[in-house]
Amino acid sequence: MELVKQSKGRELVWILEHPLTFTAGIRSSENEVLDKTIKIIKTNRGGKISLHSPGQKIVYFVLNLNLRKKDIKNLIKKVELSIVTFLKLYEIKSYTDKKNIGIWVKNKKIAAIGIRVSNWVAYHGFSININNDLNYYKKIIPCGLDNTKVTSVRNECKNEITQIDKKLSEIFLKNLKNI
């Protein structure tokens, strides 16, 4: 992080999928874990309990806001715009919610955002449920919300889901130019 802050290191963006993993953000509590047999990995990102699993795309980044606008709200808006724009490619109408961070479709969460900023370096990222098994959400209270109120691109899309990484990276990188 220090190298990125001092401009000696490059900013990073990468897209991946995790094996089945449950993480706890800094605002999580133990009562959000319904299945006490699962392993929870503690992180320093914002947010509560989250699920990462095969079929879910995770976009991680390390961005130096010292070289951009020092505006965290603007960064979050660009992340949200990127997700909404990506979902439009699959004819999915999505929206933000002022009370609950993330992206929503028909009152169900399809994408989560968890960002941390330290010394104006932003890191962690966001996830989008593409074709992951949503039953794993029954083991937790994801992001402090009703675990039945999650959805995926597969559940909402009428079209074939193709070239996800390419489309998602093009959209996100384009929006990064305006941060």
Residues recognised as catalytic = 143
Q: What does the chain come to in residues?
A: 179
How many whole angstroms separate alpha carbon 169 and alpha carbon 2? 25
114 Cβ contact list (under 8 Å, min separation 6)? 25, 43, 45, 46, 47, 50, 124, 125, 126
Contact by Cβ (8 Å): 142, 25: no
How many whole angstroms separate alpha carbon 4 and alpha carbon 136? 35
How many whole angstroms separate alpha carbon 99 and alpha carbon 84? 17
